[in-house]
Each structure stands twice: as structure tokens, then as C-alpha cells.
Amino acid sequence: MEKLLELDKDDNILVSHTILEYNSPDYVYIPLHPNYQIVVSQNKHVSIGDIILTNHVKSYTSPISGTITGLKSVTTLNGKLSALEIKNDFKETKKLAPTHKITLNNLNKEAFAKLLKQEYDLDLTNKTSLVLNCLDDEPYVLTENFYLLLYYEGFLELLDKLSKTFNITSITLAVKSTSSENINKLLECLGMYPLINLQIIPNLYLLGHDEFLLKYLNLNPAESLVIKASTFYHIYNLVKRNRQKNTELITISGPMLKNPSIIQTKIGVLAEPLIKNLIELEEGEKDFYINGLMSGKIMDLSKFIITEDIHSIIITEKKETKEGKCLNCGLCLEVCPKNLNPLLLKNPQYLAKNREKCLNCGLCSYICPVYINFNKYLKGAENNVS
């Protein structure tokens, strides 16, 4: 644990406990994923839950009811993509046919294991320990924390059912030490669930990462499965309410906001109108960090859409920080949790050998006294700056 540390942040930036909603956008956009087929035509009307894309194993469904208007170019974390544009009719019509036959009452081990693997790439085979990861590593992000806060009763019910169905002998709820409201709520009701243990985790960066969390809990990775609270919410929603994944919670926070908030939004909405409609910004030039200050990316929000892998937008004052010459101080090497030498990542051979080991956690850039952005080395030698 010696390489994990508590990150600096402004404790005056407090996220409101009132959840803001953006569930009635004018349009949503469903990116065309590789190897998926479009199963709707232009001008076709779709309902919430209708299949839009499929590869006959997994499908993407419409988060709103409305009309398919065609293909548009959008921006995601993975770059520019084509996406199906759906114009909202604001009628909220829903697909009535059930998407599956699994419920909490008839939870079948084989069928549920298949569903978890197919929809969420989770495998409970030969697992004896289950960890519900409710930790937000990044400064100013509280998304996982709020999933637990809002749905803890349903989570406990499903965890209990899973333990009995899959013969799981140990269930751990991992909650950050700063999440006092969640801790108090859980302590009030955990007596009814003797197999579920609450573990209060120190506020140290990277303990939200599966590898480090399991090590801290002294659990065998081969016998343990870690599930994020955000993922568990969608599993719970599917088996409890027969609702497919069409909404997300995201944190929108940072020093350039007057009202840092947790927002419930439809998947596929444009980020710019979401922020414009719900968030009050301070004056000045801004940087928009997608998925965190440490491991996230600065993105232009023009045509940027909220996909299912987005958990936060952190908005800061735009700063033009000039990199200095390396001092050979060794701090980046000292802080790297995988014992890599970040400076050597600019060497193509070293990069090729160690790319998969790097967590892209950002600690090396965070600790650097001359502001070297080591992330650029991960993009390949052609993007390096001498």
C-alpha cells in the first residue's frame, strides 16, 4: 500500500444531494459498434427498449421513444463515430414484451450466469467471494457512491439472493471512509444479511481498481469477483424491474461550476445541451475532463455524447502549463504502482513491452514537478515531444 496516496482536492466543492434529471432530450445517438448490425430503418418509430443494434448475442436498445432520422457523426472517448440519431417524440412508449424471464423470485443459476457473462462480461464460475465496489477514485467524482446511496436496499436484496444461488460464502461491500451517509445507512440494516460484510476503505487513490482492492481485502483474485456499483445497478434493474440499460448517473463537478451535481441522464445524449440546461458555470475559459482529472481525457464537448462508459465530467479553469526539462528526480518511478519507469515509455521497445502493464492512472504526471505529461508516450512514438 506504500505507493497509494490521498490526492489533493478542494474540499469546498460539494456535490448536491439533489439528483438532477435529463431524461427528456430532443435527440439521442447510438454509436455504431463494430460487428453489430443495424436492425431499424430510417423514419421507423421505435419505443423504449426496442433493439437498435445487435450481433445476435448482445443488443443495444433505444433509450427513448421516437423516430430514426439517420446517421450522424458524433464524438466519443474512442474518437469520432457514426451514430443512429433518434428524435424524441416525448411519449415514453415502452416495449411491452419482456427481454428475459429471470426475476429475483425465480433466479436460476445457469440462466443468470449466462446473462451476466453475455450482458456484462462477468463470470461467477468457481467464485466464492463477491465484492461490490462502491469506490470513486477520482477527485470530485461521486458516481459509484450515489448508486449505492440511492439503491442500497435493492442491492442488499440482490446480493443476498446471489449468495444463496451461487453458494458465495463471502460478500463484501467496499465503501470509502469519507462516505459517512452510506456507512450509517448500511450499519442500520446489515444485521439482516449475515453474509454481507461492510469494509470501510481508506481514501487512497487506486483502491477503487480491482487489483489493489482485492489485495487490500486480502482476497484471492482467482476466487473473487469485483462488480462496480454502477454495473450492479443495471443488473438489479434488469432482474428486478425488467428494465434495460438506458440511463446513467454521472458526476458533473469541478472548480468552474456553481452547482456541482449528480445527474441522471439518458444514454446517448449530447453533453453540451445537458450542461447548458442543468449546470451553472463560472466565467472563463474551461477544460472538460471526461472520466476524471487523473486518468481521464480533456475533450471538446462539441458533438460529444454520453455513452455507457462515461461516469463524470470535471470542469476546470483552462491552464496552459508548459512542460519543463526532466530533473531526473525519480518521483515518477517512485510513485508508479506497477514499478514502471514512465520516462522510458517514450522508447518504442520499452513501450511495446510494458503498455499492457501501465494502468494509465496519471500518478506519474500528477507527481512531476516540471509538469511532464507522460500520457502522451502511451499514444506511440509519433506523438512524443522531444
Asked if 246 and 48 count as a contact pair (C-beta separation under 8 A), the reply is: yes
Range of the domain at 365: 331-383
Q: Give DSSP secondary structure letters for 71-122.
A: EEEEEETTEEEEEEEEEE-S---B--S-S-S--STT--HHHHHHHHHHHH--
Within-domain flag for 326: no
**Strands lying side by side in the sheet with 129-133:** 196-201, 170-176, 129-133, 224-228
- Same domain (yes/no): 113, 233: yes
Q: What is the pLDDT of residue 111?
A: 84
Asked if 212 and 206 count as a contact pair (C-beta separation under 8 A), the reply is: yes
Within-domain flag for 207: yes
Q: What is the pLDDT of residue 381?
A: 44
Q: What is the pLDDT of residue 208?
A: 95
- Same domain (yes/no): 202, 128: yes
Identify the burial level of 89 via C-beta atoms within 10 angstroms of its C-beta, where 0-12 means exposed, 13-18 middle and 19 or more buried. middle
Residue 348: all three cell numbers together: 518504442
- Provide the CATH number for the domain around residue 186: 3.40.50.11540
- Same domain (yes/no): 180, 300: no
Provide block-wise average pLDDT over 10 residues at a time, the chain (386 residues): 76 89 97 92 94 88 96 94 97 71 75 87 93 96 97 95 92 97 96 95 95 96 97 91 87 96 97 96 95 94 96 93 89 93 91 90 93 81 39
- Same domain (yes/no): 73, 123: no
Using CA atoms, how far apart are residues 136 and 228, in angstroms rounded to an integer? 10
- Same domain (yes/no): 119, 217: yes
Residue 103 CA: distances (Å) to CA of 80, 111, 285: 38, 11, 49
Tell me the Ramachandran region of residue 263: left when phi exceeds 0, alpha when psi lies from -120 to 50, beta otherwise. beta
> Of the residues 250, 277, 308, which one is the last residue of a structural domain?
308
Pairing of strands 312-317, 247-253: parallel
Using CA atoms, how far apart are residues 268 and 195, in angstroms rounded to an integer? 38
Q: What is the pLDDT of residue 386?
A: 33
Within-domain flag for 3: no
- Same domain (yes/no): 88, 211: no
Within-domain flag for 191: yes
- Same domain (yes/no): 162, 218: yes
- Same domain (yes/no): 185, 214: yes
Within-domain flag for 117: yes
**How many alpha carbons lie under 13 Å from residue 24 in its C-beta half-sphere?**
5
Provide the number of structural domains found in the chain.
Answer: 3
- Same domain (yes/no): 122, 230: yes
Within-domain flag for 268: yes
- Same domain (yes/no): 189, 89: no
Q: What is the pLDDT of residue 298?
A: 93
- Same domain (yes/no): 163, 270: no
Q: What is the pLDDT of residue 359?
A: 92
Within-domain flag for 254: no
